[in-house]
Amino acid sequence: MDKKAILKKAKREKRALLTEVESKQLLEKAGINVVKTKLATSMKEAVALSKEIGFPVVLKIASPDVVHKSDAGGVKVGLKNGAQVSRAYKEIMTSVKQKHPKATVDGVSVQPMAKPGVEVIIGMFKDPQFGPVLMFGLGGILVEILKDVSFRIVPLARRDAREMIRDIKGYPVLEGYRGQEPANIPFLEEMLLKVSDFAERNPEIKELDLNPIFAYRDGAVAVDARIVLEEEAVK
Ligand code: ADP
Ligand code: MG
């Protein structure tokens, strides 16, 4: 679906939260690297899509009412064959029905398992004073506790992108720490600039979260994405 169709559907359903699949579609069109993700509306389709994509795959609950997918038991990673996909599908549905009995469920998203990398996050929100602001930080549990993040106002200049990556305390982790693979910093700078551009061009977006992005020596890819639209855009 293109942007127009996605916005129209959200509007029809009076829904400000875009699904993971919709969010990734918009981001991919903007040249932001995301894991290819498809929607399966049945168990059979989930298995067929998994075979098409190639194992191992990840299955995630696809529902406009489930914001935190893993909290709802809605994420199954590292599925190696059709049988595992079928089982994961059932488990996800059972768990989500239990935790969100009223949720509308579209099905599941199917995507390839990305190889592990340094986890980073990019976010965008609107400050009442400054307007759209980008956030950058390291992903993972530790960072959720330490809140080691940096901010810059949109639109970002290349220099802002450079600085905001180097500003975080965990920067040495990106340079490769104790034998860990380093992250491609110029690629991340480029990603920040693209997200800034995307936010600027799409004022109907209220919030954006790429969490996590896996960063590698040779690039980076967002494995999860969440976009929230302005209320006025879906009225
Ligand atoms: P949510 O944030 O809604 O709970 P995510 O899509 O972020 O759900 O998935 C939860 C976790 O599963 C991620 O933080 C990541 O560690 C892992 N994960 C998700 N998608 C992939 C993927 N395509 N490849 C590898 N790991 C993934
Ligand atoms: Mg996430």
| pLDDT tens digits, 152-211 | 999 999 999 999 999 999 999 999 988 889 999 999 999 999 999 999 999 999 999 999
Burial of residue 181, with CB atoms counted within 10 A of its CB: 0-12 exposed, 13-18 middle, 19 or more buried? middle
pTM, full prediction: 0.96
- Find all residues with CB under 8 Å of 107, minimum gap 6, and list them: 39, 40, 41, 42, 45, 46, 62
Ligand nearest to the CA of 74: 1
- Find all residues with CB under 8 Å of 169, minimum gap 6, and list them: 146, 148
| pLDDT tens digits, 27-73 | 999 999 999 999 999 999 999 999 999 999 999 999 999 999 999 99
Q: What is the mean pLDDT of residues 5-24?
A: 95
Nearest to 60 by CA among 32, 83, 40: 40
Q: What is the mean pLDDT of residues 93-117?
A: 97
CB of 77 shorter than 6 A to ligand 1: yes
pLDDT over 80 (residue 142)? no
Tell which one of 77, 100, 226 to mutate to probe ligand 1, the residue whose CB is within 8 A of the most ligand atoms: 77
Q: Which residues surround ligand 2, an ion (CB under 5 A)?
A: 211, 224
| Tokens 């996050």, residue located | 121
Nearest atom (ligand 1) to Cα of 69? 3
Torsion of the alpha carbons at 85, 90, 95 and 100, rounded to the nearest 10: 110
CB of 189 shorter than 6 A to ligand 1: no
